[in-house]
Amino acid sequence: VHLNRKNLSGITSGVKVPEYSPDNLKPSIVHIGLGHFHRAHQAVYLDDLLNLGSGNAGIFEINTIPDGTGLAEKLAGQDNLYTLISRDAGGAEEVRVIGSILGYLSAPDNREAAIARMASAETEIISLTVTEKGYYYDTVTEDLSREHPDIVHDITNPREPKTVIAYIAASLKLRSETNKKPVTIMSCDNFPSNGKILKKCILSFCETAYPDLIPWIESNTAFPSSMVDRITPATTEADVQYLESAYGIKDALPVCCEDFRQWVLEDNFKSAVPDLAKAGVEIVPDVEPYELMKIRLLNGSHSALSYLAYLLGYREVAPAMGDPLLKTFIRNFYMEEITATLQDIPGTDFRVYKDTLISRFTNTNIGDHILRLTLDGSKKIPNAVLLPLEETLRQGRRCNAILLALAGWARFLEGTDEAGVPIPVEDCGRDTVMAAAASARRDPEGFLRAIGVHGIGADEMRSISGIFKDYLEKLHRDGTRRTLADFTGVPD
């Protein structure tokens, strides 16, 4: 059957469908960044809550960059419904139709309507999953990237925004002039202190674009930080076909993900927020220890493994992690160096957390791609890898596994693999990091500085650039397999 509201009753009995009517929902959440992750995470928690009969909060979706995949037509064609397929490592799968999305607007084609929707009195929460680069945050200056052409454009033309930052600012301006209702702005992207950084970027933008608005923002908005987790690869044509052949559902927008999920949210709201705790969201006073654990162990390990795995010839994550060389390197060396930089979390045993991560990474039932993990390393690595590296150095500990992982990234950024085949490097800072990688063997310190290692002394820099250079030379001389075998002691 073609997925839509009329056909829900005809869907096979093994598939869970919404037990609530979308007609009774209010669009009290506006979400920016309708990608795969949001559909596997926040929209699912909301769907759970609605199935429990708790509240009537639905989600109105906005994308601020042109989509190009016909998302609006696809969603409208199936009454905003879509199917979620989650699979555990044992092969069990759960299939359910999610009904918490109420509508969608592509902001570049409907600028005024998008801003009005965000500013509406009905909107209690504005949430985001727009990838790290969508924030235009410079980790070196610790401020909005004011020199970025998109931000320069938006500061000059605040009423014709391109960036999420300017859209939110324009909506706050309108809100402050109309209904004046407080609002919660909730980042669900993968980087530490995401709420604080979002607030900083918005305030920094407003300093120039709307200076009079700042006091209103200070007293009428909250920016809770969050830790979000569920491995969600991009949907493939094979997934679409599988859903139809196995379950008889024709859905243009299914999402496949792992069974695991976690959402830890800072208890910091300024508006009426659904009772997310009922759906399993952990609401805590301080998210930071959870963010550090998740970003450094999960995302950092993803980065550490992806470049080396690509060089070893792997294209999917599960088979790569099934290779004893990589698995030992990540579990017994990389993760151990990282753990020393974490803060204790009562009730959380890091050993169990790491073992669970390894079994999630080796879940052969979700086809997660190595290239997805390699995307935008220049944005992800500073938080996930370099901050723990600097902390490890401050503690006077060994950081060889971290340095080998960085050498793997530098080797990847050289742009050709061990057989001389070009590597598809996709990175928003591609030119800078590739140029630094091209001269990294000659100038290892230059590479480390270019990627953002800056909070350490000259002696430490000399020492780590020596080790980094030795690994990079060894990757060239002996290849990735031999280098990992010598490092881990696992026979290759």
Q: What are 32's strand-pairing partners?
A: 62, 128
Find the shortest distance in angstroms from Cβ 167 to ligand NAD: 9
Distance in Å, CB of 80 to ligand NAD, minimum? 15
- Is the C-alpha dihedral spanning 136, 141, 147, 152 positive or negative? positive
Tokens of 45: 């928690």
Question: What is the number of alpha carbons within 13 Å of residue 288 lying toward its C-beta?
Answer: 8
SS3 282: strand
> Smaller CB distance to ligand NAD: residue 31 or 327?
31
Minimum CB distance to ligand NAD smaller for 43 or for 399:
43
CB of 79 to ligand NAD, least distance (A): 20
Q: Nearer Cβ to ligand NAD, position 133 or 175?
A: 133
d(CA 458, CA 404): 20
User: Least distance (Å) from ligand NAD to the CB of residue 441?
Assistant: 31
User: What does the DSSP 8-state code read for residue 274?
Assistant: -
Residue with tokens 């790290």: 132
Q: What is the 3-state secondary structure (H, E, C) of 413-447?
A: HCCECCCCCECCCCCCCHHHHHHHHHCCCCCHHHH
Smallest separation, CB 105 to ligand NAD (Å)? 12
> Residue 426 or 486: which CB sits closer to ligand NAD?
426
Name the minimum Å distance from CB 144 to ligand NAD: 14
> Shortest Cβ distance from residue 186 to ligand NAD (Å)?
13
Q: Based on CB atoms, which residue is closest to ligand NAD, 165 or 330?
A: 165
Percentages helix, strand, coil for the chain (3-state, rounded to 5) are 50, 15, 35
Residue-by-residue DSSP string for 104-121:
EEEGGG-HHHHHHHHHST
Nearest residue by C-beta to ligand NAD? 35
Q: State in angstroms the smallest separation of the CB of 41 from ligand NAD.
A: 7
Cβ distance to ligand NAD smaller for residue 69 or 348: 69
Give residues in contact with ligand NAD (CB under 6 A): 33-38, 63-65, 129-134, 164, 189-190, 228-232, 234
**Quick one: 129 or 176, whose CB is closer to ligand NAD?**
129
Helix axes 458-488, 444-451, angle to 10 degrees: 100
Residue in this structure with the two tokens 């490097």, named with its chain if needed: 425
Nearer to ligand NAD, 40 or 50 (CB): 40
Distance CA 71, CA 120 (A): 24
